[in-house]
A and B are shown apart, each in its own frame.
Chain A
Amino acid sequence: MPEAQAAMAVEFELNGAPVEATVEPQTPLIDMLRERFGLTGTKRSCDVQVCGACTVLLDGAPVSSCTVPAFEARGRAVLTVEGFAADEGSSPLIEAFVNNAAFQCGFCTPGMLLAAKSLLDADPAPSEDAIKDYMRGNVCRCTGYKKIVEAVHEAAEASR
C-alpha cells in the first residue's frame, strides 16, 4: 500500500453556496456529496457510469458522480437534485414529472431531472428525437421512457 496522500482541500460551489471539504484523491464525488454534505438525493446504482442514477451537474454538464473524483469539483459549480428542487425555475420540470407520472420507484428520478434540466438549459424547445437522444444515457427500470419523454416535452412547453 502506498502512503496515503495528505487529504486535499476542495473549495467549490455546491447548490449555489460556496463550500469546502477535505477529501482523499480516490474519493468519488458521490461519496463527498452523500457522506460529507448529507445530500442523499444522488443515488449510486451501477457504479460504472452507465445508468445515470448518480448524475449531478458539474458546471452545468451532467457527469456520473460515482466515478468522477471529488477533487474535480475544485473551483467549479456542483448542482445536485436538492439544489435543483430548491430553485423556483425547476418547478415546470418537477410538475411535469408529477403530472405525467414519469416515475414509479423514483430511484432514477434525480438523475433524470438533472439531465432534463441540462437539456432544457441548452435547448429550451427540444424535439422528441432530441429529448430521446439527450436522455438515452439515463436508465429507468420501471416507468419506461415514454412518460419521461412526455414530461420533458411538457416542461419545455410550460416554460415558454
Chain B
Amino acid sequence: MRPFRLHEPTTVHEAASALAAAGGGAALYAGGTELLLAMKSGLLAYDTLINVKSIPGLEAVSADNGSVVIGASATHTAVEHDPLVRERLPLLSEVEHGVANLRVRNVGTLAGNLCFAEPHSDPATLLLVYEAELDVAGPSGSRRIAVGDLQTGSYETSLEPDELLTAVRVPVLQAGVRAAYSKFGYHHRPTLGIAAALAVVDGVVTDARLALGCVSPVARRLPRSEDVLRGERIDGLTEGASALREASRLASEDADTVEDMHGGVDYKEHLVRVFLERTLLRALAQNGGGDA
C-alpha cells in the first residue's frame, strides 16, 4: 500500500477542517474495512487518512425522542449488540448481524458503510424503510439529511469534500408495524436486499414502506408497490394474492437493475419479484409489536 499520513483529530470541526485543507488528498478512516481494501489494491490512494475514531464520543449509541442515534464510529458489532438497538430496533440488530463476517463487523462502522456507498450492502436499504436521517458536519456547521439523499451512485455520495457523517438517527417503528428484511446471494456481498415495513390497523395495511437494494447502483424506495398495498386487508394477503403479485411486478419494473458480476438484468428482475413477495409475507407473519 502506498504510504499515507495518519491525522487524528479530537473534534468534528478539526476533522472537517483537515478535510478542507487537504483538498481531496485525504479520506476519512473509521473501520477501514472498505477503504483499506481499495487502497491495498491501488484503486484509491490518499496522502492522509483522518481517523474518525480519535474524536471522543462518536462511538456512542443513545436515545433521542423517538429515535436511536448511532455515532459515526459505532461498529456493526456495537450496533448489533447495543441494548437500545436490540430493544427498539430489533430488525436493525438482525441485519447488522448479517453484514459481511464477524471480523469485518468488529471493525467496520455503520456510518462508514453508508459513506462508502458500496451498492452490494444491506444497511442503506434497511434504513430507507426506517426513514433514518443523517447528521452531517462541515467546517461551518452541520445539517441533517434523509438517508435516501446520501448515496448518489456506486461509491458516490452527496457529501461535500469537507463534510463528514457524524450520526445516524433511526426513528423507532410504531407499534403495529410489521417489518422484515431479506437478503440473497452466493457472493461474499449480497446480490439483493429488500426491506419491508407495513403498518397494520384493524387488519388493514394503513402504510407501507418498501426498499430495494444491491440490484442497482443506489438503494431505493418502491412507491408504486407501496401504493398497491395501502388499504389491503391483511387476511387476503396470502401467498399468490393479486396485490402481492402486483406489488412484486411493479417492484421489478421500478428496480432499474444493472448487470454486474452478481447477474444480468432479467435474473435480478426475477429475484426482485420472488423476494418482494417473500419479504412481504415474512413481514405480515410478524405479530405487529413494532419491528421484529
A and B: interacting chains: yes
Docked-complex contact A115 and B6, CB < 8 angstroms: no
A50-B47 contact, Cβ under 8 Å, with A61-B106, A67-B36, A115-B102:
no
Closest chain A residue to B188, Cβ basis = A50
CB of A110 closer than 8 Å to a CB of B? no
Count of chain A residues near B, Cβ 8 A? 28
Bound: A26/B49 CA distance, A: 10
A residues 66-91 near B (Cβ < 8 Å) are: 67-69, 71
Residues of B contacting A5 in the complex (Cβ-Cβ under 8 angstroms): 3-6
Docked-complex contact A52 and B101, CB < 8 angstroms: yes
Docked-complex contact A63 and B47, CB < 8 angstroms: no
Residues of B near any A CB (own CB < 8 A): 1-6, 32-33, 36-37, 39-40, 47-49, 77, 100-104, 106-107, 188
CB of A49 closer than 8 Å to a CB of B? yes
Bound: A63/B107 CA distance, A: 7
Docked-complex contact A26 and B37, CB < 8 angstroms: no
Residues of B contacting A55 in the complex (Cβ-Cβ under 8 angstroms): 103
Could you name 9 residue pairs across A and B whose Cβ atoms are closer than 8 Å? Answer: A1-B2, A2-B5, A5-B5, A24-B3, A25-B5, A26-B3, A28-B1, A68-B32, A134-B102
Interface residues of B, dominant DSSP: mixed
Q: How distant is A77 from chain B, measured CB to nearest CB, in Å?
A: 14
Docked-complex contact A49 and B49, CB < 8 angstroms: no
Residues of B contacting A137 in the complex (Cβ-Cβ under 8 angstroms): 100-104
Bound: A136/B188 CA distance, A: 12
Contact of A67 among B37, B47, B49 (CB under 8 A): B37
Bound: A96/B101 CA distance, A: 24
The total of interchain contacts (Cβ-Cβ below 8 angstroms) comes to: 69
Bound: A52/B48 CA distance, A: 28
A4-B32 contact, Cβ under 8 Å, with A48-B37, A50-B188:
no
Bound: A4/B36 CA distance, A: 17
Residues of B contacting A58 in the complex (Cβ-Cβ under 8 angstroms): 106
Bound: A58/B77 CA distance, A: 14
Closest chain B residue to A27, Cβ basis = B1
Most chain A CB inside 10 Å of its own CB: which residue of B1, B32, B102, B106: B102
A residues 9-68 near B (Cβ < 8 Å) are: 24-26, 28, 47-50, 52, 55, 58, 61-64, 67-68
CB of A8 closer than 8 Å to a CB of B? yes
Contact of B40 among A62, A63, A67 (CB under 8 A): A67
Contact of A2 among B32, B36, B47, B101 (CB under 8 A): B47
